[in-house]
Chains A and B, each alone.
Chain A
Amino acid sequence: MVEAKLKRFSRFLYADPRALTLLTLPAVVLFSVFVVFPIISGLNISFTNWNGYSQSYSYVGIQNYKDLLFNDSVWTAFRNTLVYGLGSTAVQTVLGLGLAMLLVDKFFLRGVTRTIVYIPAMVAQLVIGYIWYFIVTYERGALNDIINLFGVSPIDWMSKGNRAVLIIMLINSIAYCGKTMIIFIAGLESVPNMYHEAASIDGASGWQAFRHITIPLLLPAFTTSLVLNIIGGLKMFGLVIAMTDGGPGYATHSLSSLINTMYFANQRAGFSSAIGIFSFIFIMLVSILLRRYLEYKDQQYNG
């Protein structure tokens, strides 16, 4: 009896493909304990007034979510997150495409330039922020030194919230456009040369060839860089912390950095958790919509 069971079990292990799913076990366990469980417990905390350290707290219903709707700093952070995500996507796409067009064909300085453009993409956001601090800071900042040469008096670049948000978005774009460039170079290299030759035989101008051959064939590269940049911008944290720490006031916070401040500085763990759930749902929505849209596009082109 036991023997028969053992035999069946060993056959299951040996040849039944369902048994292979056991290989996912370590990953699934880690995933359940450190991703799924925290999301559920985060939802639970978001209905409390927990301060983050004491033993006791009480349930306050949807109070935190009500606060969230009427809290100016949450809305500012939400708007900033959109600027960081969408703005960086736009700027990086233009910069990355321009750089890719410049650096796709062989010429003397191509290799060196590619390397230099790509280096900052390897550096932590936080460190990029500290490096650029020396450039945009008011007193003896490198940028103010330059405009001083043209007789313009120094500007306190990060003192106004909206301007600081734009500057952070631009720094993010410049620092990480190397990645977008690489994706576009790979896309351009996959465009067969014969299309361009055929176009030039037919008398197409450079712009026409670019508009009607390069752009359509680069669509897959566009969509991948779009997804990467939007998600990357939405996750913005280190750069904000390094450049402004969310200030002046709460003007430059992203949702991520606001969660951090609400928890550790303001000790509003329940509220912070509610913002976390909100940003989680928002990013899931964005990524599901993006994926749907891409599948739809894919079908249009291939089907």
Chain B
Amino acid sequence: MANAKNNLKARHNWIKNIVAVVTSVFFFAPFYIILSLSFKVRGDRSSHWIFPSSPHIQSYVVALTKGNIGTAIINTLIVTVFSVVLIILFGSIASYPLARHRSKLNKFILSAFVGVMMVPPLSVLVPIYRLMVSLGGINTFWGIIILSTTYGLPMSVFMFSNFICTIPKELDEAALLDGCSQFAIFPRIILPNMMPVVSSVVILTGVSIWNDYSFQLYILQKPKLRTITLAMSSFFSEGMTNLPAAAAAAVMAVLPVVVLYLFLQKYFIKGTVDSAVK
């Protein structure tokens, strides 16, 4: 009886493994194509499916020198790191009162923030661009950082305040009784308990700023300041005659996020699940 059940399970797993191979091939195919193309020489007319017998790296050299992908990666890193730090700082301190004291004012602030999560950045393109021109924020890192921070805040406030609700209120009350000032409760009691959700917010907002195209497109117009998505789009529109170099640029654009994901897979998955709960 038990044996028959095991046999059935083993057969099931065989089928599953086969389906899994087909699925993986399907989902990996686009990446395989840019990899194989990126190692070809310019003018190679073989099918994209055929990996070159002697791989060349000259396309990568072209993408780095002409496409400035290296500078772009550094620029993107600067924008992402500063924005994420500000998002965590402002988002976490704002969430504490919003989650703990459900006054009318606080409820209003929270619902205004959460409402903005839905707003597509492009719908305010014209006024934002105009505002940034008058503030002198075009072609500056602070301009893009301040916009990325503002539009990343709602997500962090949403996730932080949801999480703070799960921390027992008795902890706050005990601290107050022990003579802790109410402003000291957050850094001493709440913040140390928040580390799991901080990692999720860092990954979620970090990935979305790293991948942003809309705000970066209006603010960073100088070639020197280009981020990855901007460098990719200008390289693609100028250089469609050199397909392997375009593919190499795509590989280098994808690589940092994928490598980070492979190392921190657990946190990426957790972040996605955390953001989706309710």
Contacts and interface: CB of A to CB of B under 8 A. Distances in A.
Contact of B118 (A131, A135, A283): A283
Nearest to B103: A18
* Interface residues of A, dominant DSSP: helix
Interface in A239-272: 241-242, 255-257, 259-260, 263, 269, 272
Interface of A: 13-15, 17-21, 23-24, 26-28, 30-31, 33-35, 37-39, 41-42, 45, 52, 99, 102-103, 107-110, 112-113, 115-120, 122-128, 130-135, 140-142, 145-146, 174, 179, 182-183, 186, 220-221, 224-225, 228, 231, 234-235, 237-238, 241-242, 255-257, 259-260, 263, 269, 272-273, 276-277, 279-280, 283-284, 286-287
B246 to A, nearest CB: 7
Contacts, number: 284
B189 interface: no
B126 interface: yes
Interface in B212-262: 212-214, 217, 228-229, 232-233, 236, 243, 246-247, 250, 253-254, 257-258, 261-262
Contact of B126 (A102, A115, A272): A272
Interface in B64-107: 89-91, 93-94, 96-98, 100-101, 103, 105-106
A120 B213 contact: no
Interface residues of B, number: 95
Interface in B92-147: 93-94, 96-98, 100-101, 103, 105-106, 109, 112-113, 115-131, 146-147
B208 to A, nearest CB: 9
Contact of A183 (B34, B127, B246, B272): B272
A115 B265 contact: yes
B269 interface: yes
B34 A125 contact: no
Contacts of B17: 107-109
A174 B27 CA distance: 8
Contacts of A108: 13, 17
B23 interface: yes
Nearest to A19: B182
Interface of B: 13, 16-17, 19-21, 23-24, 27-31, 33-34, 37, 45, 47-49, 89-91, 93-94, 96-98, 100-101, 103, 105-106, 109, 112-113, 115-131, 146-147, 149-151, 153, 157, 176, 181-183, 186, 207, 210-214, 217, 228-229, 232-233, 236, 243, 246-247, 250, 253-254, 257-258, 261-262, 265, 268-269, 272-273, 276-278
* Interface residues of B, dominant DSSP: helix
Nearest to B233: A126
B120 A123 contact: no
Given A27-B113, A269-B126, 4 more contacts: A26-B94, A102-B16, A102-B19, A287-B115
Nearest to A259: B122
Contacts of B232: 126-127, 130
B253 A124 contact: yes
Contacts of B49: 142, 145-146
A67 to B, nearest CB: 15
B247 A123 contact: no
B115 A21 contact: no
Contacts of A109: 16-17, 20-21, 24
Given A18-B101, A45-B127, A113-B20, A283 B119 contact: yes
A167 B182 CA distance: 55
